[in-house]
Amino acid sequence: MLDYGAMITPRTPSRAGLLPALVLLGLTACDGERPPAETAAIEDDGTIDWIVYGDTVVTMDASGRIIGGGAVAIDDGLILAVGTAAAIDAEYRASRTLHGERRVLMPGLINGHSHAAMTLLRGVADDLALMDWLNNYIFPAEVEFVDPEFVRIGTELACWEMIRGGTTTFVDMYYFPDTIAEVVERCGLRALISTTVIDQRSPDAESAADSLDKGEGYIERWKNRHPRITPIYGPHANYTLDAAQLAATRRAALEHGVPISIHLSESPFEVQYSKDTYGKTSIEMLDEIGFFEGPTIAAHVVWPTDAEIPILVERRIGVIHNPTSNMKIASGISPVAKMLEAGVLIGIGTDGAASNNDLDLWEEMRLAAFLQKVDSMDPEQLPAMTVLTMATRGGAEAIGLGDGIGALEPGKRADLIQVAFDDVHHVPTYDVVSHLVYVTDEQDVVNVIVDGQLLMHDRKILTIDTERVRREAEALAAEIKRSLASRNRGR
Ligand SMILES: [Zn+2]
């Protein structure tokens, strides 16, 4: 049975009583195509948890199957069957259903690189070079303001935004990872959550050694604790850690059997720093010290040399493309089409909301396609289906979850979304995939299911008290504003 009550964090007395009731309504009423409720009583008779329908089902499986008038059967968080609605109806009876009229059913989106809690620093400093932005604004602001409470509120805000937009899995790198994991556990999303390793005073550690030390406790606490949460190491970059610290982080990750997420070859600064310090560009340097001897998720990878691309393939490094952030901070244009052709695993990500400034993967997909086209002056580069793959099945492979998520097929976890196609910008629709990549926005997403649990129903978030989060975020932002204003006056 799904325990929706436990996923809610009612803090406000007036809503505390209301929410579970609303959730129950959402669950049992659903869309009424099937007899609701009585789940417990009839489950033993072979009734499954869900049948979710779609006028079009975009499976994103390896054959690219798209089913007109389709449905997905779900039980115990697992996809049992995908087929035409008629075939699914003939085979299964479900306690709950979601209708598919004027809706596209597809796998949830995968955000391969984020700093979720930075939603609270959205718009604090814009229009600056990466190093100026990091060293003079972001790092100092983080040291001053970021504590577990900041991370809790900022991550809740991010999860709200991601669920609203149809993201079902994300790979996060921030501070106080226990707090991030607790938020993710409650809100129902799936995540790989890094413990950040960085050789400077940060909000949760004093140095690289200290962050590694504290990170180990976090990894031990969360390893195999929750099926939706994977604890990982997040060494920040090869310019914020030295070679010995990077190698030590990989050793720790191997010891605990967990992946690593890192910023890699992001900016011309990083590449130059690596050449000046090690006589080698970042990817070659890390390969030489054995850093890639284990699962690696590499964010950005804007400046790989021709000699480095084969290393990415050979080491099966999952590259996460962040087009908006790369454009906004003017990091450059990643050679995504070239890497894909070489066989690099590529997913897509938003980066933090301070450098994006939102967590909208639909926009990310669109910009990924446009950037490659205009950069190469070739409109055939990175077609819609390729980009949609990066946000779903390809992204799942890039973050090491290819066996479990990323496509609608039997045996995969039930992470799926329904996108309404009734808004004017979807009238008429000739090609669903074209519309998903070039037209759809976050507001079109109506229902979100992760691991068989309904997180958003008819655009209402069921697992986060959004009004409480709004109030808390605004109160915290007011403090940050006051403090920044007094700091700037003192300059
Ligand atoms: Zn980042």
What's the longest Cα–Cα distance across the chain? 72
- For the record, the structure tokens of 255 come out as 């010891």
Q: What is the pLDDT averaged over residues 460-468? A: 98
- 314 alpha carbon – ligand 1 mean position (Å): 24
- For the record, the structure tokens of 200 come out as 């400077």
- 284 alpha carbon – ligand 1 mean position (Å): 20
Q: Is residue 476 part of a domain?
A: no
Are the beta carbons of 418 and 455 closer than 8 angstroms?
no
Q: Is residue 264 part of a domain?
A: yes
Residue 41 shares a structural domain with residue 131? no
- 286 alpha carbon – ligand 1 mean position (Å): 18
Residue 264 shares a structural domain with residue 342? yes
Q: Is residue 331 part of a domain?
A: yes
Whole-number pLDDT of residue 486: 78
Residue 257 shares a structural domain with residue 382? yes
Domain final residue pick, 398, 429, 454: 398
Q: Is residue 417 part of a domain?
A: yes
- 115 alpha carbon – ligand 1 mean position (Å): 6
| Cα distances (Å, whole numbers) of residue 374 to 337, 356, 380 | 12, 20, 10
Number of domains, the chain: 2
Q: Is residue 478 part of a domain?
A: no
Residue 160 shares a structural domain with residue 259? yes
What type of residue is 63? S
Q: What is the pLDDT averaged over residues 88-113? A: 98
Residue 92 shares a structural domain with residue 193? no
- 114 alpha carbon – ligand 1 mean position (Å): 6
Q: What is the pLDDT averaged over residues 101-111? A: 98
Q: Is residue 475 part of a domain?
A: no
d(CA 175, CA 202): 8
Whole-number pLDDT of residue 431: 98
- 173 alpha carbon – ligand 1 mean position (Å): 7
| Cα distances (Å, whole numbers) of residue 226 to 49, 222, 398 | 21, 7, 21
Whole-number pLDDT of residue 16: 33
Residue 245 shares a structural domain with residue 272? yes
Task: Give the environment of ion ligand 1: residues with CB less than 5 A.
Answer: 351
Neighbour count for residue 18 (Cβ, 10 Å): 13
Residue 103 shares a structural domain with residue 118? no
Give the confidence band of 5 by pLDDT, cuts at 50, 70, 90: very low
What DSSP designation does 122 have? Answer: T
Read off φ and ψ for residue 379, nearest 5 degrees.
Answer: -65, -10
Residue 241 shares a structural domain with residue 349? yes
Domain range enclosing 116 = 109-398
- 481 alpha carbon – ligand 1 mean position (Å): 23
d(CA 225, CA 113): 22
- 365 alpha carbon – ligand 1 mean position (Å): 17
- 397 alpha carbon – ligand 1 mean position (Å): 19
- 169 alpha carbon – ligand 1 mean position (Å): 16
Q: List pLDDT tens digits, range 207-265.
A: 999 999 999 999 999 999 999 999 999 999 999 999 999 999 999 999 999 999 999 99
Read off φ and ψ for residue 412, nearest 5 degrees.
Answer: -85, 160
Host H or E run for residue 154:
helix 148-165
Give me the CATH number covering residue 64: 2.30.40.10
Residue 167 shares a structural domain with residue 282? yes
Residue 456 shares a structural domain with residue 353? no
Residue 238 shares a structural domain with residue 166? yes
Are the beta carbons of 184 and 159 closer than 8 angstroms?
yes
R_g (Cα) of the chain, nearest Å: 22
Q: Is residue 483 part of a domain?
A: no
Q: List pLDDT tens digits, range 169-217.
A: 999 999 999 999 999 999 999 999 999 999 999 999 999 999 999 999 9
List the one residue out of 254, 442, 280 whose CA is nearest residue 363.
442
Whole-number pLDDT of residue 490: 59
- 364 alpha carbon – ligand 1 mean position (Å): 14
d(CA 3, CA 6): 6
Give me the CATH number covering residue 248: 3.20.20.140
Q: List pLDDT tens digits, range 408-419.
A: 999 999 999 999
Q: Is residue 482 part of a domain?
A: no
- For the record, the structure tokens of 130 come out as 């990466």
- For the record, the structure tokens of 317 come out as 């490094």
Residue 90 shares a structural domain with residue 158? no
